[in-house]
Amino acid sequence: MTTIPPVTDVHTHVVPPGWPDLGAPDSPWLRRDSTETATIMRGDREFRRITDACWNADTRLADMDADGVDVQVVLPTPVFFGYDNDPDDAARVAGIFNDLTLEVTGQAPDRLLPFCQVPLQDSDAACQELDRCLDNGHRGVEIGNHVGDRDLDDEGVITFLQHCASRDVPVFVHPWDMTPAPRTDPWMLEWLVGMPAESQLSLLRLALSGAFDRLPESLRIGFAHGGGSFAYWTGRADNAWQQRRDLVGADSEHPPSHYAPRVYVDTVVFSEPALNVLLDVHGPERVVLGSDYPYPLGERPAGRVVRESSLLDDQKDTILRTNAERFLNA
Ligand code: CO
């Protein structure tokens, strides 16, 4: 008898309720505003208002039931990564965050699958924290798409990704820490423009640097928000690689689109034409349900675009169920 894989949302976030104020000037802390609401603060500045969906397993499960989601991958919220800290501090911060996350996901371990964070600025410490977390029940790791000026083709990051492949652990890459600029200050343009560009930038760096040629094909790596702007501009990047390598100087064996089937992307793109581009570029086995729950620019109900699309039922099932099972090796 074959069992039907669960509907799995690979892109949701957690903020653990016991998160302490670590006292560093710019490190995030939680201001509890009521039993159901809190604000993520940076210093005395409000970063984001959040609700108990961030930490209350019962709230999450009720929303999942309402949306028809069986399982959530529960990811760290990127502002807590601590990549700016010195490595020892970052390792300590990651450990606190990861252990507190288990208190949330442990309330429904079959439905809430925790991914850990790691001090990515130090590949040894990152590998150690990943190993510790895998022993404690984490199912994968989320990383930011850069560590300051170092992107995913950085030697230390590649070392960490190779370790993930050797441990057979899925990696989910989330854009974060967009460069503030006056032109992207209003209307959440850092999120609307900066985030998709960040993902595209990191995917192109992995491709053009030759990092994908060095990383094992067995590495399961996924990108948030449909991989940002990457899929829509593989034609431009391929043309540059093929026609103007004299200018581009790429170090890769293949043009960027060649590597797209190595990458899982989620479905938080809010339009059927965009979803179809992802299916064309990355392949029907690489598109996974993601919602960005419970954050304000996420999709509710989770999976709406997939379910309302004109795809066939078995294509929808592949996106909603089967591909995540493969990504997670569940
Ligand atoms: Co997100």
152-180: pLDDT as tens digits: 999 999 999 999 999 999 999 999 999 99
pLDDT computed for residue 298 by the predictor:
97
- CA of residue 247 to ligand 1 center, whole Å: 35
Contact 42, 28 (CB under 8 A): yes
- CA of residue 176 to ligand 1 center, whole Å: 9
Give the pLDDT band of residue 281 (cuts 50, 70, 90). very high
Bridge partners of residue 42, in order along the sequence: 28, 45
- CA of residue 25 to ligand 1 center, whole Å: 24
Rounded Cα distance, 44 and 28, in Å: 10
- CA of residue 296 to ligand 1 center, whole Å: 10
Give the pLDDT band of residue 198 (cuts 50, 70, 90). very high
Task: Write phi, then psi, for 150 (nearest 5 degrees).
Answer: -95, 130
- CA of residue 197 to ligand 1 center, whole Å: 15
Per-residue pLDDT reduced to its tens digit, 97-127: 999 999 999 999 999 999 999 999 999 999 9
In a domain, 47, yes or no: no
- CA of residue 289 to ligand 1 center, whole Å: 13
Rounded Cα distance, 173 and 121, in Å: 15
Rounded Cα distance, 321 and 256, in Å: 28
Contact 251, 217 (CB under 8 A): no
Phi/psi zone of residue 274: left (φ > 0), alpha (ψ -120 to 50 degrees), beta? Answer: alpha
- CA of residue 322 to ligand 1 center, whole Å: 21
pLDDT computed for residue 1 by the predictor:
60
Ion ligand 1 contact residues with beta carbon within 5 A: 292
pLDDT computed for residue 250 by the predictor:
84
In a domain, 132, yes or no: yes
pLDDT-above-90 percentage for the chain:
91
- CA of residue 79 to ligand 1 center, whole Å: 11
pLDDT at 295 over 90: yes
**pTM metric for this prediction:** 0.97
- CA of residue 236 to ligand 1 center, whole Å: 27
In a domain, 34, yes or no: no
- Averaged pLDDT score across all residues of the chain: 96
- CA of residue 245 to ligand 1 center, whole Å: 34
In a domain, 32, yes or no: no
- CA of residue 34 to ligand 1 center, whole Å: 24
Q: Hunting for tokens 């996924």 — which residue is that?
A: 222
- CA of residue 224 to ligand 1 center, whole Å: 7
pLDDT computed for residue 3 by the predictor:
86
Contact 199, 230 (CB under 8 A): yes
Q: Which residues, in sequence order, are CB contacts of 282 under 8 Å at separation 6+?
A: 227, 231, 260, 261, 263, 264, 265
What is the count of structural domains for the chain? Answer: 1
pLDDT at 275 over 80: yes
pLDDT-above-70 percentage for the chain:
100
Give the pLDDT band of residue 234 (cuts 50, 70, 90). very high
Contact 225, 200 (CB under 8 A): no
- CA of residue 12 to ligand 1 center, whole Å: 6
In a domain, 240, yes or no: yes
- CA of residue 241 to ligand 1 center, whole Å: 31
pLDDT computed for residue 25 by the predictor:
73
Contact 179, 201 (CB under 8 A): no
In a domain, 116, yes or no: yes
The domain of 180 spans 8-16+54-328
**The CA-based dihedral angle spanning residues 142, 147, 150, 155, taken in that order and rounded to the nearest 10 degrees:** -50
In a domain, 24, yes or no: no
pLDDT computed for residue 50 by the predictor:
95
- CA of residue 68 to ligand 1 center, whole Å: 19
Q: Pairing between strand 71-76 and 45-51?
A: unpaired
- CA of residue 174 to ligand 1 center, whole Å: 6
pLDDT computed for residue 194 by the predictor:
96
CATH of the domain at 300: 3.20.20.140
